[in-house]
Amino acid sequence: MSEVPYFVDLQTATDIACATPLHLNTEFVSLDAAHGRVVSEDIASNVNDPPFDNSAMDGFAFLQSDSLEPPTTLSIIQTLQAGDHQTTQPLGRHQATRIMTGAPMPPGADSILPIELCQVSEDGTEVTLLEQGRPHFIRKKGENLVAGDVAITQGTTLTPAKIGLCATMGWPQVPVFQQAKIAIISTGDELKFPGEELKPHEIYESNSFGLAGLVEWMGHKAVRYPAVADSMDALRKLLDQASAECDLVLTSGGVSMGDWDFVRKIMEEEGDIHFWRVKIRPGSPPLFGLWKNTPLFGLPGNPASSHVVFRMLVTPYLRASMLGGGPRPMRLQVQLAENLRGDAKCLALRRITIDTSGKHPLAYSTGSQGSGNLNSMATADGLTLLHPGQPSNKGDWCEAILL
Ligand code: AMP
Ligand code: MG
């Protein structure tokens, strides 16, 4: 173990893990299935947006020079609506075209007046413009995008607006990173499937369910294996299976210093550890390494810790594997509404609720911060990022990460 980086800060741990990223291939998905996926290649527009000059308003199109001294009466020569295939007549002086939003501008016209500012004669042959024309109500060909413009770069997470933009650019399917298959293995003799009868000193297994949710929230596929007993042979067998079936393995439990901490032991003896222990609280026990060439995070067993470590370590790793894509953790400055416990050596990630109803965001503890207390994780809006030694009394400010 001597040369393995030990008890490293969070940035060092992240950098070490990110040096062994996942290699995710590209697949094409339809726009209907693209929400939340991460684009793996730049996407350039196939068309100009808009493809032709068109009206931004329902109203009339005419020559601006005909409208300079309102009211002005012009004769109506045609009506154009969006998608009309008819050939449009060029406009002459003192002529107007009735035009709908999205309809092509008739040649010769250089101005629009919305319908509310126009009066049409009873026989429908003439229009009186009550004000001057508005040239800016013409949407010019290519004013948003020119064909060939790269509007979405690789590593972008597809939001609803970006999916719409892909359609605007003429892409029915888009290249995205394939979802990783991520194995989740809980370890511990004391763990029972929720709802089963508990024998003395047993508890319900919760980490794999929480971690599976986090994996899916990151846009990947969770493969939850049944909890494994604390035995080297059982663990070896399951690690072999999971590393063959999946791209990444997450274990929980068994990475501390205890005699039954077999994940650490088996990784030391038969795997390849890249770091062990990180300066964060809660969540200092994790390790990262390779099991038979498959990257593996050994997460702590304590339920709040396993969540925190996923958020702080596995999330940046998965984002780095997708060129920065995936849900982006939002940070904000909060003022502490009560005293929180900092830490002399570690980044203190206290679970907080954040009240944004007043002048500043105020942070309150979610209660007991024990690393086994999942209830205080479930009610949290965020985690503090209290650096070692940073003051953390009522009234102090600190950065927080939103959950
Ligand atoms: P360990 O890291 O294996 O020593 O586990 C630390 C604590 O977390 C112990 O109290 C375990 O019972 C608990 N724990 C470990 N794994 C899980 C799990 N999958 N679900 C719920 N609690 C767990
Ligand atoms: Mg254990």
| Cβ of 206 less than 6 Å from ligand 1 | yes
Both 82 and 183 in one domain: the answer is no
The pLDDT tens digits for 286-310 are 999 999 999 999 999 999 999 999 9
- At 133-159, the pLDDT tens digits run 999 999 999 999 999 999 999 999 999
In a domain, 380, yes or no: yes
Cis peptide leading into 329, omega within 30 of 0? no
Closest ligand to 207 CA? Answer: 1
Residue 2 has pLDDT above 60, yes or no: no
Ligand nearest the Cα atom of residue 305: 1
Distance CA 22, CA 181 (A): 10
Coil, helix or strand for 16? helix
pLDDT band, residue 1 (cuts 50/70/90): very low
Radius of gyration for the chain, computed over Cα atoms and rounded to the nearest angstrom? 31
Residue nearest to atom 12 of ligand 1 (CA): 190
Whether 265 maps to a domain, the answer reads yes
Q: Is the pLDDT of residue 221 over 70?
A: yes
Q: Is 282 in the pocket of ligand 1 (CB under 6 A)?
A: no
Q: Report yes or no on 97 lying in a domain.
A: yes
Same domain, 196 and 310: yes
Question: How many CA atoms does the CB half-sphere of 86 hold within 13 Å?
Answer: 11
Is this structure's pTM higher than 0.75?
Answer: yes
Its domain, for residue 73, covers 54-139
Domain annotation covers residue 147: no
Residue to substitute in 201, 252, 287 for testing ligand 1 pocket (most ligand atoms within 8 angstroms of CB): 252
Contact 60, 99 (CB under 8 A): yes
Ligand 1 binding pocket includes 256 (Cβ within 6 Å): yes
Q: How many domains does the chain have?
A: 4
Whose C-alpha lies nearest to ligand 1, atom 7?
A: 302
- For residues 64, 68, 70, 73, the Cα torsion angle rounded to the nearest 10 degrees is -50
Asked whether residue 149 is domain-assigned, the answer is: no
Nearest Cα neighbor of 212 from 271, 299, 288 is 299
Overall size of the chain counted in residues: 403
Specify the 3-state DSSP secondary structure of 150: strand
Q: Is residue 326 part of a domain?
A: no
Does the beta carbon of 203 lie inside 6 Å of ligand 1?
yes
If you measure from the C-alpha of residue 235 to the centroid of ligand 2, how many angstroms do you get, rounded to a whole number? Answer: 12
The per-residue pLDDT for 84 is: 85
pLDDT grade, residue 87 (50/70/90)?
Answer: confident
